[in-house]
Amino acid sequence: MIVLANDGIANSGVTALENAGYTVDLTTVVQDQLVDYINNNNVTVLLVRSATKVRKDIIDNCPSLKIIGRGGVGMDNIDVEYAREKGLKVINTPAASSHSVAELVFAHLFGMVRFLHDSNRNMPLDGDSKFKVLKKSYAKGVELKGKTFGVLGFGRIGQATAKIALSLGMKVVASDPNIDTVNLELDFYDGQKLNFKIDTISKEELLKQSDFITLHVPAQKDYVISTKEFNIMKEGVYIVNAARGGVIDEVALVAALEDDGKVAKAALDVFEKEPTPEVQLLMNPNLSLTPHIGAATNEAQERIGSELASQIIEILG
C-alpha cells in the first residue's frame, strides 16, 4: 500500500511505515493535480500538514483512499466530518507538537520584552554608528517573572505554555469553555515534580487580569479577539497568536498597537491571509513575526512522524 506524504514526513515515520511493508511517496503534488495523482498511483493514505487541503473533491473522487492524516493539531484544511461520513479514517497528532509551539510562544515573548525583534533589524544597520542611541532605545525592558500570563484555550498546547510560564515564576490564568480545572505536573531534569491546580475563569476576567495573553484555540467563525476584547485589556498588554489565522482581528490589532500603546507589542505566527500576510503587519515595528513555524522543530516532526505511522499501522494492520 502507498502512503503519499504530500507535505513531507520525518524519517521516523518513513522508517516505521517501510518496516511495516508500506511504500512511502514523498512527492509534493500541487493541489489541482492531487486527484489524478492519487488515482493513478492507487494511494491508500494521504498525509498532509497545513499546505495541502483535503476537500470534497478529493474525498469524492479518490476511491483508493482509506486514511487522511494531518501532521499537527488543527484540521481546518480537511473536511473531516464529510470524510468520516464517507467511511474514511481521519487522524492527526494532537500531542506531538505542543511543547514546540509553547517554546515558540516564549521565544516571541522574550524577544519582545527585550526588543530583540527590533534590535536584530537595527544593529546590523546602525550598530557601529548609533550604538548609544540604540542602547537608550532598548533600555526599558520588562521581566516576565511575577507577571500574569493569560491562556485562552487550555488544551494540550495551552497547558504546555502554562507550564513554561509557571517555571518562570509567572501567575497563570486560563479560560476555556470546555474545561473547568486542570492539574498541571511540571517535570524537572532530576526527576523532581511539582503540581499546580489551575481553575479556569471567564474570558472577560482573563482579559482584565493578564499582562501577557496567548491564544490556543481552534479556527472559528468569529474573531476571538477584536475591538471589544482589546478595550477590556490592560494598558500595555502583550499578545501572542500561534494558534490559527483569523482568531485575532488583525485590523483591530494594528489599531490597538497604535492607540497610545493599548497593546504594547504582539507576536503572530499565523495570519488571516496566509501565506500572503498584509503588508501593514509585515512592516509594523511592534509586531514580532514568524511564518507559521510553531511545530517546526526536529523533535516535534520526529514525534509527528512516529505517531502518524503507528496510527496508520494500527488501522490498516
Q: Are strands 193-199 and 181-187 parallel, antiparallel or unpaired?
A: antiparallel
Radius of gyration for the alpha carbons in the chain, expressed in angstroms and rounded = 22
Q: 183-203 burial, b if ≥16 CB within 10 A, otherwise e?
A: ebeeeeeeeeeeeeebebeeb
Question: What does residue 80 show for φ and ψ, rounded to 5 degrees?
Answer: -60, -55
CA angle 254, 258, 263 (to 5 degrees): 75
Chain centroid to Cα 312, Å, comes to 24
CA angle 31, 32, 37 (to 5 degrees): 85
Query: Does 244 participate in catalysis according to the annotation?
Result: yes
* DSSP alpha helix (H) spans, the chain: 11-19, 34-40, 56-61, 80-85, 98-113, 116-126, 131-137, 156-167, 203-209, 227-232, 250-258, 279-282, 298-316
Query: Does 121 participate in catalysis according to the annotation?
Result: no
Q: Which residues make Cβ contacts (< 8 Å) with residue 38, sequence separation at least 6?
A: 4, 46, 58, 62, 64, 65
* Residue of 103, 272, 274, 278 marked active site: 274
Question: What does residue 70 show for φ and ψ, rounded to 5 degrees?
Answer: -115, 120
Question: What does residue 239 show for φ and ψ, rounded to 5 degrees?
Answer: -130, 140
* Residue of 216, 292, 303, 307 marked active site: 292
Query: Does 114 participate in catalysis according to the annotation?
Result: no
* Residue of 216, 244, 250, 307 marked active site: 244
DSSP assignment of 80-149 equals HHHHHHTT-EEEE-TTTTHHHHHHHHHHHHHHHHTTHHHHHHHHHHHTTTSHHHHHHHT------TTSEE
Residues that are catalytic: 244, 274, 292
